């Protein structure tokens, strides 16, 4: 082992020998690995980051699973109330993966100003509402407080505020259609403005006290529109959704957000295939470049191989000498690829240099998800696959004859 390693570093080492015909090939191979690693890291980080960010935004407005009246209504508007007193509320003990349950109710309305009007959905929430995600979206003011008496505080989106000319602290009047065809109106006070970047939700929802919706619908105090459920493991959402369905009454229906927003999550699932495809292509390209570089090294040092064989070295020992050097070059490429890749990802994470169209991608800037597990797995996998691919060109050593290659001067 020591002889092989010493020989490799002394005779073929990438930084020890003088510039030869193989030097440009070696540089190209290293650059290919660097670019491959950078591309793979960016692909994984942005692909997974976009999936995570969109999942969080959809969950923020709907929970992970919605429990509602079994009436075939899949819209965002509550039509029929359900009793608040359920054996799964507020604690869903029958399904341990459930982390939180909250009540909501929605009512369609119209905001009217002196010059314009906009159709909206008033989402009524109570003192059990989970404001974690909305706190992240908040850009001005504060979230409403519905823990005490009924109040008029509401949260509106920046899209709505810009469209209708509102600012934080303004009073707004919302009109609601009565069952007999007339109108009711309620005056609310804007205490906060949010921006989720998910225009489908931002253009529709304002958040108000659920007791307003109950009164507008002539419901009792113990009647709500739906229950929103949050779970601990999103990857098992369908399985947990089935368990929740089995532990609720027959007049209740459960729907996961992947079912309600099927097209969005079907689009997100395509990212997994794209990520895998890019990784495979990048590894193949890097591997081919390393194979070419190793072949050039072997052919350039054919006389040396003949001398080593004449001295008694076997084929496998000589093959390992070349492979050690090739893997050293792979290591150099991986190191610089990680430095450059992580640098670019951190720049995007903290400064948001690359922006996206929220109407298409549901986010205003490219999100990144940095997980050391993915990074380590990517580096180890690339290194091992390159090592396996390098076994093929190293076989050329076995075809070199000492008699034909040794030259005497």
Per-residue confidence of the chain (409 residues) as pLDDT tens digits?
Answer: 455 544 544 444 444 444 455 678 888 889 999 999 999 999 999 999 999 999 999 999 999 999 998 765 566 777 789 999 999 999 999 999 999 999 999 999 999 887 888 899 999 999 999 998 888 899 999 999 998 889 999 999 999 999 999 999 999 999 998 776 678 889 999 999 999 888 889 999 999 999 999 999 889 989 999 999 999 999 999 999 999 999 998 889 999 999 999 999 999 888 889 999 999 999 898 888 888 888 888 888 878 778 878 778 888 888 888 888 889 989 999 999 999 999 999 999 999 899 888 778 888 888 999 999 999 999 999 999 988 988 888 888 777 777 666 654 3
Evaluate whether residue 207 is within a structural domain: yes
Nearest to 314 by CA among 235, 217, 398: 398
The last residue of a domain, from among 249, 281, 305 = 249
Q: What are phi and psi of 240, to 5 degrees?
A: -70, -40
For residues 50 and 105, state if they share a domain: no
- What's the whole-model pTM score? 0.81
Evaluate whether residue 80 is within a structural domain: yes
Q: Enter the tokens of residue 93.
A: 């003990």
3-state SS, residue 385: helix
For residues 215 and 282, state if they share a domain: no
Evaluate whether residue 396 is within a structural domain: yes
pLDDT at 232: 94
Give the whole-angstrom CA distance, residue 279 versus residue 283.
Answer: 6
Evaluate whether residue 325 is within a structural domain: yes
Report DSSP letters for 102-128, one per residue.
EEEEEEEEEEE-SS-EEEEEEEEE-TT
pLDDT at 94: 93
Evaluate whether residue 228 is within a structural domain: yes
pLDDT at 299: 81
For residues 52 and 91, state if they share a domain: no
Q: Enter the tokens of residue 10.
A: 């002394």
pLDDT at 174: 93
Evaluate whether residue 66 is within a structural domain: no
For residues 234 and 137, state if they share a domain: yes
Per the structure, the complete domain to which residue 345 belongs is given by 2-57+265-405
For residues 196 and 323, state if they share a domain: no
pLDDT at 321: 84
For residues 389 and 280, state if they share a domain: yes
Give the contacts of 134 (CB within 8 A, at least 6 positions apart): 60, 143, 155, 194, 207
The residue whose two tokens read 């992947």 is: 258
Give the whole-angstrom CA distance, residue 318 versus residue 322.
Answer: 7
Number of domains in the chain: 2
**Beta-bridge partners for 363:** none
Contact call for residues 107 and 77 (beta carbons, < 8 A)? yes
Evaluate whether residue 162 is within a structural domain: yes
pLDDT at 403: 66
pLDDT at 215: 92
- Return the C-alpha torsion angle 29, 31, 35, 40, nearest 10: 40
Give the whole-angstrom CA distance, residue 7 versus residue 4.
Answer: 5
For residues 81 and 229, state if they share a domain: yes
For residues 279 and 390, state if they share a domain: yes
The last residue of a domain, from among 222, 249, 276 = 249
For residues 77 and 214, state if they share a domain: yes
pLDDT at 363: 83
Evaluate whether residue 62 is within a structural domain: no
For residues 366 and 233, state if they share a domain: no
Give the whole-angstrom CA distance, residue 230 versus residue 183.
Answer: 35
CA distances from 176 to 107, 112, 120, 167, 183 (A): 8, 11, 10, 22, 5
For residues 147 and 193, state if they share a domain: yes
For residues 13 and 120, state if they share a domain: no
């Amino acid at each position: 082992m020591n002889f092989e390693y010493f020989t490799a570093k002394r005779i073929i080492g990438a930084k020890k020998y003088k510039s030869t015909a193989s030097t440009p090939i070696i540089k190209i191979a290293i650059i290919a690995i660097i670019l491959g690693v950078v591309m793979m890291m960016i692909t994984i980080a942005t692909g997974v980051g976009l999936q995570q960010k969109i999942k969080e935004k959809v969950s923020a407005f709907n929970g992970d699973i919605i429990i509602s009246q079994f009436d075939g209504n899949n819209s965002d508007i509550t039509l029929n109330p359900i009793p608040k007193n359920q054996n799964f509320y507020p604690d869903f003990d029958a399904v341990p993966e459930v982390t939180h349950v909250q009540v909501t109710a929605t009512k369609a309305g119209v905001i009217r100003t002196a010059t314009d009007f906009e159709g909206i959905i008033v989402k009524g929430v109570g003192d059990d509402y989970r404001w974690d995600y909305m706190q992240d979206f908040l850009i001005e003011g504060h979230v409403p407080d519905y823990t005490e008496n009924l109040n008029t505080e509401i949260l509106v989106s920046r899209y709505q505020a810009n469209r209708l000319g509102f600012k934080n602290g303004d009073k707004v009047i919302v009109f609601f259609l009565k069952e007999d065809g007339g109108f009711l109106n309620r005056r609310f006070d804007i205490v906060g403005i949010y921006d989720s970047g998910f225009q489908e939700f931002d253009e529709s929802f304002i958040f108000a006290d659920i007791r307003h919706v109950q009164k507008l619908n002539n419901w009792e105090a113990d009647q709500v529109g739906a229950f929103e459920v949050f779970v601990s493991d999103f990857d098992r959402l369908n399985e947990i959704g089935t368990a929740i369905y089995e532990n609720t009454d027959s007049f209740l229906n459960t729907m996961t957000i992947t079912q309600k927003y099927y097209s969005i999550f079907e689009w997100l699932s395509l990212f997994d295939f794209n990520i895998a495809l890019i990784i495979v292509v990048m590894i193949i390209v890097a591997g081919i470049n390393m194979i070419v570089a190793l072949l050039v090294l072997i052919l350039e040092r054919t006389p040396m191989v003949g001398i080593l064989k004449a001295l008694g070295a076997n084929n496998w020992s000589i093959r390992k000498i070349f492979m050690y050097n090739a893997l050293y070059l792979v290591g150099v490429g991986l190191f610089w690829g990680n430095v450059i890749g992580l640098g670019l990802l951190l720049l995007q994470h903290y400064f948001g240099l690359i922006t996206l169209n929220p109407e298409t991608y549901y986010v205003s800037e490219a999100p990144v998800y940095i997980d050391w597990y993915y990074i380590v797995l990517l580096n180890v996998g690339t290194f091992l696959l390159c090592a396996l691919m390098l076994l093929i060109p190293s076989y050329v050593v076995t075809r070199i004859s000492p008699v034909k290659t040794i030259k005497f001067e």
